Structure 1
């Protein structure tokens, strides 16, 4: 995301005519007649580290009712190291043993030689309950995007390594493709990348070539639509022919990394009077990407199932001064929706999203009502669907995902 966070362990200057020509010639991708209709995609991130302190497991996807709503799960994250796709957390991914109570089907994992355990086995079981559900393995994220620069030096070798890992015989049936979460090509995230304007396009082309048309190839991309910003640093239009869809990370536009404020909603749908930076809103992001020639059907609307907040705030309306980040359960300035809905209920809206002031704290986050509004926008815009970061931030009964229309 434009801010210094985005997806992490704790969601283009080609002409429109030229881009349209490229896209018209694009090869068939993984959407098939039995896949969910493009505009109805609901993609949720599941984090492998969530099984630890957060105590959110694959079983919770089912018991919350979220699995029945999802069309795709993005499994976050695999690492990128030494120019290759690598395992992110071997224990959580495929070794952690679930007992009968924690397992999605009530059957305990076994220690038989070669038996798959961990999240991968639980996802396999979830897919048996929901045969149309697809799972995509996401690589990179905020913390591990520094490895993409090396990968971009030899895209074919990188793609080969990713295919070998995603389609490892131990779990080949679990995954339906790959998602690339590079924060950010030819720009700065946790580290700065200087691989050049075409590197991302070349990586995605190599992945499509290796994974073929029967596997999904997607990417989470920047939402920075400011003039000369991160969208402008990359040939996203040229790369669009190789992806099934993009997930523009239309959240984390603003947050308490600007410790003194001004307070602003981290995921505004539209601009509003006093917004701190032009081009930092969902509509600006999607309008810019579409103007470059990327089909709306290849763009998903991004939602955050969490809030960002400041403390030391005296003003209820956005734009107030602050003294620093508000206290959060796992991270200062960050809190899950399931917590905020009770501890700091929304009492205002701006730019199509919600905010709340309680005591000296000021938070912004989406609610079922604002998600319904964003869903209506998604439908008016003809977008390919919705995605969100991440499943563990929702309530135990999945009230946010159920508000997606």
Structure 2
């Protein structure tokens, strides 16, 4: 969550080495020369920096048929390990490592290849390499020798619906070699294919009954019997079937230099338009949820003039003051409002790795803090802003692909169904990027919704440019990095089985800009970040709308060239377009960072509210 730096993750490099895993000569096969009529796997050392090593494995479909899903597995001796990987889902048990395809690289036509990379440590040799249950060099029985079908999926159920979508989940099948995917059927028509145990079927008609089943498949093409059938009737009417959640972040530190307080949420008219407020941030330290700023949170004295209800805070011992007390008063005035306490953020995410080592203890600490008797009535749940699990943000995390899912499972178990559990997550949809680094699909069952941070894709941390919009809705010709746009992030998360109704579209109430720019259109060169009120390269919408008015649009967002400065930000008009997209996709609504960036009359939040209907 803003303030943050560039989203570019590069490789999640850790201090590792695989000195003897692969030959120092560079590219070697994991086993002898591959058969021409099998699915095979080989590996290449791509980099060696003395204390670290990077390798890449390539799976090749040497058959004449399409392969739907692949799995590479091998053993490593004690003292040798793989600690980081990309473009594949990695699991391990002792020294046995398994890599399976991610959703986008699992289908291999005849002659096609897919690759994944890894870092590791130690000097042992790979042994027992298998691809889809057969020898990696193709010398053993190929996938065609497997004739045993997976077991039928069980427990098929609906986990959510809109007027145009139905979200489903089920219990995984088993197979003698391995399940590679699932096909979801609407009646007798295949409606979706996924690798996980969740799917969202869209393009449905409102107020209509549908019957769904699921079949599992393996790499040899064997298909299971159908699961139990489940019938679901979509919601009535509505244009596009989108949700109406409007969630705004309230920045704890805004009460200082920005002079933005809870009362401003009321006087701007924003409180009536919001459904939820995320209070940012609590800290994560020593594996626990902790207070971020006790003075701002619950100790600052508010006079009658500063208070939501016109009543001054009390100095009585034990009396609640600060923003927490003002939020209590705001909820009393607007009973529909829910408030969540958000933990982490760009600066305070470094503690999540330790928290992931004992998720139950972390969840217990969070529950005790959020439900502290002094302010238990203020908060309706918890929001986790981990930037980023198994990837790099301000610090790099190496807790593994499953750590985020495990953490969210523990939080749901402790907070129960009566509290909200949500998470702000990455929107990096690049191949092998941050969305691929953690099990967001598997964790979706534990959250009420996700808030993909569909902003800060580009900014003046790249001081010489090229200039590019920080929050494009869509890709466009000349975008510096493919996968850095909102629609790509939403599509990738949905492909991983996250229901559309559990995804909200993110809007930034601020712009990012460069100086030294002569070109009006995106893609120009610059000399550095443009000046900002609180930080170079960034400015509130309420300032930019008059200081540097929009001069064009690209990728569904606005940009402005004024003098030698170039800025990008959303206007009420581009927000309207984004809300149309959210409704069309059946998303759960929208959220924004953060309340103090809007005008005194709340024109940005008004555009969100009106756009969602």
- TM-score, normalised with respect to structure 1: 0.94
Q: Deviations over 1:211-240 (max 9, x none)?
A: 000100000000000000000000100000
The alignment status of 1:308 with 2:512, answered yes or no, reads yes
The answer for unaligned runs of 5 or more in structure 1 is 7-11, 25-36
Q: Secondary structure at the match of 2:409?
A: helix
Query: 1:118, 1:5 → 2: CA distance?
Result: 33
Number of residue pairs matched? Answer: 389
Q: Secondary structure at the match of 2:196?
A: helix
Q: Deviations over 1:237-280 (max 9, x none)?
A: 00000000000000000000000000000000000000000000
Q: Which of 306, 309, 324 is the matching residue for 2:528?
A: 324
Query: 1:130, 1:305 → 2: CA distance?
Result: 23
CA 1:38–1:164 in structure 2 vs 1: closer, same or farther (change >3 Å)?
farther
In terms of fraction of residues, the more helix-rich structure is 1
Q: Secondary structure at the match of 2:436?
A: helix
Q: Which of 323, 335, 340 is the matching residue for 1:131?
A: 335
The alignment status of 1:166 with 2:167, answered yes or no, reads no
Query: 1:314, 1:292 → 2: CA distance?
Result: 42
Q: Is the 8 A contact 1:22 1:241 kept in 2?
A: no
Q: Secondary structure at the match of 1:237?
A: helix
Aligned to 2:260: 56
Q: Secondary structure at the match of 1:143?
A: coil
The answer for unaligned runs of 5 or more in structure 2 is 8-88, 90-101, 104-180, 182-193, 202-213, 215-240
Query: 1:86, 1:227 → 2: CA distance?
Result: 35
CA 1:202–1:287 in structure 2 vs 1: closer, same or farther (change >3 Å)?
same
**1:32-51 alignment runs, 5 A limit:** 39-51=243-255
The alignment status of 1:141 with 2:345, answered yes or no, reads yes
Aligned to 1:28: none
Aligned to 2:552: 348
Q: Which of 325, 344, 357 is the matching residue for 2:561?
A: 357
CA 1:67–1:182 in structure 2 vs 1: closer, same or farther (change >3 Å)?
same
Q: Deviations over 1:289-330 (max 9, x none)?
A: 111111000000000000000000000000000000000000
CA 1:22–1:359 in structure 2 vs 1: closer, same or farther (change >3 Å)?
closer
Aligned to 1:20: 198
Q: Is the 8 A contact 1:22 1:238 kept in 2?
A: no
Q: Secondary structure at the match of 1:223?
A: coil
Query: 1:69, 1:167 → 2: CA distance?
Result: 26
The alignment status of 1:118 with 2:118, answered yes or no, reads no
Query: 1:22, 1:257 → 2: CA distance?
Result: 37
Q: Is the 8 A contact 2:283 2:290 kept in 1?
A: yes
The alignment status of 1:176 with 2:393, answered yes or no, reads no
CA 1:21–1:364 in structure 2 vs 1: closer, same or farther (change >3 Å)?
closer
Aligned to 2:303: 99
Query: 2:411, 2:197 → 1: CA distance?
Result: 20
Structure with larger RCO (C-alpha < 8 A, sep 6+): 1
Query: 2:341, 2:6 → 1: CA distance?
Result: 20
The alignment status of 1:244 with 2:448, answered yes or no, reads yes
Q: Is the 8 A contact 2:249 2:593 kept in 1?
A: yes
Q: Is the 8 A contact 2:248 2:274 kept in 1?
A: yes
Query: 1:345, 1:21 → 2: CA distance?
Result: 42
Query: 1:329, 1:130 → 2: CA distance?
Result: 32
Instruction: Give the superposed CA RMSD.
Output: 1.8
Aligned to 1:4: 5
Q: Deviations over 1:85-139 (max 9, x none)?
A: 0000000000000001100110000101110000000000000011110000000
In terms of fraction of residues, the more strand-rich structure is 2
> What is the Cα deviation at residue 21 of structure 1?
7.1
CA 1:249–1:21 in structure 2 vs 1: closer, same or farther (change >3 Å)?
closer
Aligned to 2:540: 336
Query: 2:312, 2:324 → 1: CA distance?
Result: 14
Q: Which of 74, 88, 105 is the matching residue for 2:292?
A: 88
Q: Is the 8 A contact 2:472 2:557 kept in 1?
A: yes
- Structure number with bigger Rg: 2
